[in-house]
Chain A
Amino acid sequence: MNPETASHFMRSLAVPLTLTAAALAALFLPMIAGKDDARPGLAVLGAALALLAVFPASGPDSISLFSGALTLSPFTNYLWPFFLTALAFTVLLSLRARGGLPGAGEYYFLLALAALGLMLLVSAGELLTVFIAVELLSVCLYALAAINRSPAGAEAGYKYFLLGSLGTGMLVMGIALVYGTLGTLNFEAIQSALPFSHPSSLIPHPSLHPLTSTGFIFLIAGFSFKAALVPFHMWVPDVYEGAPTPVSAFMGAAVKAGGILILYRLYVLTAGSAQFREIFWGLAVVTMVLGNLMALPQQNLKRLLGYSSIAHAGYISAGFFGGSEGLKAVLYYLAVYALATMGAFAVIAAVEKDERGITVKDLDGFSGRHPWLAGAMAVFILSLAGIPPLAGFFGKFYVFTAALKAGCVWLVVIALVMSAVSVYYYLRVLTAMYMEKEHTALHARPSRAMNLALILLALAVTALGIFSAPLLRLAQAAAIF
């Protein structure tokens, strides 16, 4: 190992190692201090996060670590800060809810490890690392969903665990089949082992070995569970509803992104095959259509946002077809979508009484008592609905343009019509807040941390659309595998 690589190596590993150390500090400091006050651990965690978010993990070129198990590239340079920011916002949202509760230390520990899992997931260079990352992430989330030890939380955790295990089972099966037929787990090696990466005139349309195909289908299904694409979405509404609201926010914003990006990797691997493109096309359409339709009748706001997150996964997958332009759009979309979702959950967290959240009806007349909170919620909801000049509109525009450039006219038309349909359920939230008479007085006591998070998120969602050039430039730099 030459000195330059060694320094890269150290710098890159510093990020996950610091995060792990911070997570451990959050777990153990309260124990050492002898009381259930998690604040010291939090301080450590917060400081570490702030440091890491600005830490450049590697330069503009990719480096491969541990014989290809981890690949650090501009791609991870974009996503690691993304996940860390999501984690930081989740911590801000959690401060009021978790302050005095038992198990606060474990809570932040698990949250940080889940973020670590996501970071590993997007930097994984081979399937086994992917699997380990997914498990690290999922196990933490199962526990986090149930951490309040309430009936709703237990139900959420249990459902998530059962269906998640099904997804994991499919992953293992898929990995086994791919390894069995291709003899490698490394993404690059898989890529070059696939017949359509060497187009030859002798075989105009090379097809995969049936077992390899089956393996990939299992992999796609397994990751569709994580990204919550229809028909692998059944866990989403219950888990989003039952989990503590900051955890739901983290799932909607960050975990969703991880799932989508690993699916993108699979798309790239199999893009040479028309059948697999059809599969992804079908998944995208079914997800955006059903996600939106199922969101229409929802009453609980957390469930509604859950279905909305499914629908957004559908829109995002439309960007898969657009090549590197598409990936750039997807990365931009993920960021602005995460900000808006995080914000909407933050408002819920500020007003809810227990982790079941609130119904749309509870928000009736909300703007009268809390004009600023209602205004922030309106910004997030309108961004999710894709109304200009908010960032969500620009995300949709970039993704759909990339898809249209690849010739997916019908996919884009369906997506656009569905986003017009989605306006109906998003506007229900605004209607309740601004146009109905108040009947249950919601008393919001947002903590100072929560207020800070809300202000930052609302500003970002407002500004990142009209001034999307800087974020796009970052996404552009990252949009190379």
Chain B
Amino acid sequence: MQFIDANLLTIIITLPLAGALALLFVPKEKTGLIKNLALGISAAALLFSLRLYFAFDAADAAMQFAVNKPWLPDWGINYRLGVDGISLLMLMLTAFLTPLAILASFNSIQEHQKAFYASLLALQTGMMGVFAAMDVFLFYVFWEAMLIPMYFLIGVWGGHRRVYAALKFFIYTMLGSVLMLAAIIFVYLAHKAQFGTYSFALADFCGTAFPLKTQLWLCATFALAFAIKVPLFPFHTWLPDAHVEAPTAGSVILAGVLLKMGVYGYLRFAVPMFPAAAQSFAPWLALLGVIGVVYGSLVAWSQPDMKKMVAYSSVAHMGLIVLGIAAFEPAAVSGAVLQMVNHGLSTGALFLIVGILYERRHTRMIEDYGGLAKAMPGFSAVFMIVMLSSIGLPGLNGFVGEFLVLFGSFRTYPWLSAAAVSGVILSAVYMLGMYQRVVFGPVTHEENKRLPDLNAREWAYMLPLLAFIILIGIYPAPFLRKIDAAVRTYVTAVQKPESALAGERGSHKPQATNKERR
């Protein structure tokens, strides 16, 4: 037990990858074994994550379960891991969604099953690593390595334009992250110039001081990489393609976890490392977020394709979350982090629902459905709860997050928050409209009369989602308590950027000599 606790994060990160490698050696005809093995591995990872969740001390603001082992010591690169409340919730979300995504793929994936589950598990390792890495180099390695399995998931098991979507996803993300790599190396060298030691530790990066102008440049490259991932308007164009083409499990993971990495990047890296620059960028971030809310909602409204509608609604939801983290108010930031979880749950559930319909009818067009309430009553009930949670109905999880974000950011950005409210209203318009056209009304297509309701496997992955959607809606306090300390650290880091700028005089010199040497 002690060994497990000391290496809990390492186990959670490496277990899925080890499982993926093990899968490669299972004969490909044994599809049942492959599926069960994949599910078992992700369930085991979930069990270890639960251990992490309950052992996590919410009162402690420091990084917990910290690991720090030399990896490439000459370069100051260490295997540094740790979790605070924000990381913890993201890890839990990942650990929770992956088995559900695997379970949801049992029927819909018929080709290259072994490779599919291996990719999903490898992806899980990447995601877990991103949320637990406390070494910027290690973070970058996970951040980039994750692209490979996601590229395969979209490109091999996706829809008609899957190749285009997969390439676009990969190259778009890559363009953002290579510039971030340049900035990372720049900060690393500046740290060496100021402190005399090489280190990629996040804490050391945060302690490196820059004049405001340099900070603005560096922060901009980080912000760009994360904005592409979120995605913030106008960097969102890869998202509808990727979502529409990806298989259901890919969409669930993409919307549920990958998009959160962008926001997580702001919370963990861009803002604490460059607080002064972040403060001057914050209004622009908030503005882009709100544009995303309004624009995403309007575009979602006009979509005839359910999956595209959910994809654009993601743009809107993520915009709201960015507004929350740019407000630097404890309530707004807490709400944003909680909303990240909520969005993962409800949008993940929405993609699963679209997947359930697609498996039955092989179409995602709203007009092809109608009157499903008769044939699929259980499904319709589940769909309603999920849809209401996505709209933000009080009593369900979405409300708590959206309310906290809007409430908190109103003090910082009254006008932008007011505009963001319109997005919430719009989401009700298009979601209710879609639900009405799909579930109610007369049956316009004969096939829809005989559609089977949810089967046991589908209930098995929808029920846990519903449980959390309702639980967070009624009683969010325990989750908010877990992130409280981390949110406070984040907010205070920004509120005193003067201290970060204090080193400006000292850091001017190394900058100048750097230029001369060139």
Q: Does any Cβ of B come within 8 Å of A400's Cβ?
A: yes
**Interface bits B131-149 vs A (CB < 8 Å: 1, else 0):** 0000000001100110110
A413 CB contacts on chain B under 8 angstroms: 179, 182
A407 CB contacts on chain B under 8 angstroms: 514-518
- Of all A-B residue pairs in the complex, the 5 with the closest CB atoms, nearest first, are A407-B518, A416-B178, A388-B141, A407-B517, A435-B155
Q: Does any Cβ of A come within 8 Å of B151's Cβ?
A: yes
* CB-nearest residue of chain B to A396: B181
Q: Report the separation of the CA atoms of residues A151 and B400 in the bound assembly, to the nearest whole angstrom.
A: 74
Number of interface residues, chain A, beta carbon within 8 A? 33
Asked if residues B145 and A416 are in contact (CB atoms below 8 Å), the reply is: no
Asked if residues A417 and B179 are in contact (CB atoms below 8 Å), the reply is: yes
Within 8 A of A (CB), among B169-190: 170-171, 174-175, 178-179, 181-182, 185-186, 188-189
Q: Does any Cβ of A come within 8 Å of B72's Cβ?
A: yes
Q: Does any Cβ of A come within 8 Å of B152's Cβ?
A: yes
B147 CB contacts on chain A under 8 angstroms: 387
* CB-nearest residue of chain A to B186: A404
Known: A404-B182, A423-B174. A431 touches B518 (CB 8 A): no
A446 CB to closest chain B CB (Å) equals: 19
Q: Report the separation of the CA atoms of residues A469 and B72 in the bound assembly, to the nearest whole angstrom.
A: 6
Q: When the two chains form the complex, which single residue of B166, B181, B182 contacts A431, counting CB atoms closer than 8 Å?
A: B166
Q: Does any Cβ of B come within 8 Å of A408's Cβ?
A: yes
Q: When the two chains form the complex, which single residue of B72, B174, B186, B518 contacts A406, counting CB atoms closer than 8 Å?
A: B518
**Interface bits B475-518 vs A (CB < 8 Å: 1, else 0):** 00000000000000000000000000000000000000011111
Asked if residues B156 and A424 are in contact (CB atoms below 8 Å), the reply is: no
Q: Does any Cβ of A come within 8 Å of B66's Cβ?
A: no
Q: When the two chains form the complex, which single residue of A400, A417, A427, A430 contacts B175, counting CB atoms closer than 8 Å?
A: A417
* CB-nearest residue of chain B to A400: B185
Known: A388-B140, A419-B178. A408 touches B518 (CB 8 A): yes
Asked if residues A431 and B163 are in contact (CB atoms below 8 Å), the reply is: yes
* CB-nearest residue of chain B to A281: B518
Q: Report the separation of the CA atoms of residues A460 and B144 in the bound assembly, to the nearest whole angstrom.
A: 20
Q: Report the separation of the CA atoms of residues A413 and B179 in the bound assembly, to the nearest whole angstrom.
A: 7
| Extra contacts besides A400-B182, A420-B174, A431-B167 (14): CB < 8 Å | A387-B144, A387-B147, A397-B181, A404-B182, A404-B189, A413-B179, A417-B175, A423-B171, A427-B151, A435-B156, A435-B163, A435-B166, A436-B163, A469-B72
A420 CB contacts on chain B under 8 angstroms: 171, 174-175, 178
Chain A interface residues toward B at CB < 8 A: 382, 387-389, 393, 397-398, 400-401, 404-409, 412-413, 416-417, 419-420, 423-424, 427, 430-431, 434-436, 468-469, 472, 476
B247 CB to closest chain A CB (Å) equals: 13
A472 CB contacts on chain B under 8 angstroms: 72, 74
Q: Report the separation of the CA atoms of residues A413 and B184 in the bound assembly, to the nearest whole angstrom.
A: 12
Known: A382-B148, A435-B155. A427 touches B167 (CB 8 A): yes
Asked if residues A468 and B175 are in contact (CB atoms below 8 Å), the reply is: no
Chain B interface residues toward A at CB < 8 A: 72-75, 140-141, 144-145, 147-148, 151-152, 155-156, 162-163, 166-167, 170-171, 174-175, 178-179, 181-182, 185-186, 188-189, 514-518
Mind listing 26 A-B residue pairs with CB under 8 Å? A389-B141, A393-B141, A393-B144, A400-B182, A404-B186, A406-B517, A407-B514, A407-B517, A407-B518, A409-B182, A413-B179, A416-B178, A416-B182, A417-B178, A420-B174, A423-B174, A424-B171, A427-B170, A431-B167, A434-B155, A435-B156, A435-B162, A436-B163, A469-B72, A469-B74, A472-B74
B166 CB contacts on chain A under 8 angstroms: 431, 435
* CB-nearest residue of chain B to A424: B171
Q: Mostly helix, strand, loop or mixed at chain B's interface?
A: helix
Q: Report the separation of the CA atoms of residues A436 and B158 in the bound assembly, to the nearest whole angstrom.
A: 12
B71 CB to closest chain A CB (Å) equals: 8
Known: A388-B140, A416-B181. A409 touches B145 (CB 8 A): no
Q: When the two chains form the complex, which single residue of A387, A388, A412, A427 contacts B182, counting CB atoms closer than 8 Å?
A: A412
Q: Report the separation of the CA atoms of residues A434 and B157 in the bound assembly, to the nearest whole angstrom.
A: 10
Q: Report the separation of the CA atoms of residues A318 and B115 in the bound assembly, to the nearest whole angstrom.
A: 38
Asked if residues A434 and B170 are in contact (CB atoms below 8 Å), the reply is: no
A409 CB contacts on chain B under 8 angstroms: 182, 186, 518
B517 CB contacts on chain A under 8 angstroms: 406-407
* CB-nearest residue of chain B to A410: B518
B227 CB to closest chain A CB (Å) equals: 16
A424 CB contacts on chain B under 8 angstroms: 167, 171
Q: Report the separation of the CA atoms of residues A400 and B137 in the bound assembly, to the nearest whole angstrom.
A: 14
Q: Report the separation of the CA atoms of residues A427 and B145 in the bound assembly, to the nearest whole angstrom.
A: 14
Q: How many Cβ-Cβ contacts under 8 Å join chain A to chain B?
A: 85
The listed residue with most B CB atoms (<10 A of its CB), out of A398, A405, A408, A436, is A405
A89 CB to closest chain B CB (Å) equals: 25
* CB-nearest residue of chain B to A468: B72
B454 CB to closest chain A CB (Å) equals: 32
Q: Report the separation of the CA atoms of residues A397 and B188 in the bound assembly, to the nearest whole angstrom.
A: 12
B73 CB contacts on chain A under 8 angstroms: 469
Q: Report the separation of the CA atoms of residues A476 and B75 in the bound assembly, to the nearest whole angstrom.
A: 12
* CB-nearest residue of chain A to B144: A388
Asked if residues B148 and A434 are in contact (CB atoms below 8 Å), the reply is: no
B74 CB contacts on chain A under 8 angstroms: 469, 472, 476
A36 CB to closest chain B CB (Å) equals: 42
Q: Report the separation of the CA atoms of residues A398 and B152 in the bound assembly, to the nearest whole angstrom.
A: 28
Q: Report the separation of the CA atoms of residues A420 and B228 in the bound assembly, to the nearest whole angstrom.
A: 14
Asked if residues B179 and A416 are in contact (CB atoms below 8 Å), the reply is: yes
The listed residue with most B CB atoms (<10 A of its CB), out of A393, A412, A427, is A427
Q: Report the separation of the CA atoms of residues A427 and B175 in the bound assembly, to the nearest whole angstrom.
A: 14
B188 CB contacts on chain A under 8 angstroms: 401
A293 CB to closest chain B CB (Å) equals: 15
Asked if residues B152 and A389 are in contact (CB atoms below 8 Å), the reply is: no
A397 CB contacts on chain B under 8 angstroms: 181, 185
B75 CB contacts on chain A under 8 angstroms: 398, 401
B89 CB to closest chain A CB (Å) equals: 26
The listed residue with most A CB atoms (<10 A of its CB), out of B145, B162, B179, B182, is B182
Q: Report the separation of the CA atoms of residues A405 and B517 in the bound assembly, to the nearest whole angstrom.
A: 9
A423 CB contacts on chain B under 8 angstroms: 170-171, 174
Asked if residues B156 and A434 are in contact (CB atoms below 8 Å), the reply is: yes
B517 CB to closest chain A CB (Å) equals: 4
Known: A387-B148, A423-B171. A401 touches B162 (CB 8 A): no
Q: Report the separation of the CA atoms of residues A413 and B224 in the bound assembly, to the nearest whole angstrom.
A: 15
Q: Report the separation of the CA atoms of residues A467 and B154 in the bound assembly, to the nearest whole angstrom.
A: 30
B169 CB to closest chain A CB (Å) equals: 11
B182 CB contacts on chain A under 8 angstroms: 400, 404, 409, 412-413, 416
Q: Report the separation of the CA atoms of residues A239 and B171 in the bound assembly, to the nearest whole angstrom.
A: 30
A419 CB contacts on chain B under 8 angstroms: 178
Q: Report the separation of the CA atoms of residues A436 and B175 in the bound assembly, to the nearest whole angstrom.
A: 25
Q: Report the separation of the CA atoms of residues A348 and B72 in the bound assembly, to the nearest whole angstrom.
A: 34
Known: A413-B182, A434-B155. A405 touches B170 (CB 8 A): no
B140 CB to closest chain A CB (Å) equals: 7
A382 CB to closest chain B CB (Å) equals: 7
B174 CB contacts on chain A under 8 angstroms: 420, 423
* CB-nearest residue of chain B to A411: B518
B516 CB contacts on chain A under 8 angstroms: 407
B213 CB to closest chain A CB (Å) equals: 14
Q: Report the separation of the CA atoms of residues A132 and B174 in the bound assembly, to the nearest whole angstrom.
A: 44
The listed residue with most B CB atoms (<10 A of its CB), out of A398, A407, A435, is A435
B163 CB contacts on chain A under 8 angstroms: 431, 435-436
* CB-nearest residue of chain B to A368: B112
Asked if residues B515 and A387 are in contact (CB atoms below 8 Å), the reply is: no
Q: Report the separation of the CA atoms of residues A259 and B188 in the bound assembly, to the nearest whole angstrom.
A: 32
B241 CB to closest chain A CB (Å) equals: 15
* CB-nearest residue of chain A to B74: A472
The listed residue with most A CB atoms (<10 A of its CB), out of B141, B171, B179, is B141
Q: Report the separation of the CA atoms of residues A388 and B175 in the bound assembly, to the nearest whole angstrom.
A: 15
* CB-nearest residue of chain A to B72: A469
* CB-nearest residue of chain B to A413: B182
B186 CB contacts on chain A under 8 angstroms: 404, 409
A412 CB contacts on chain B under 8 angstroms: 182, 185
Q: Report the separation of the CA atoms of residues A423 and B171 in the bound assembly, to the nearest whole angstrom.
A: 7
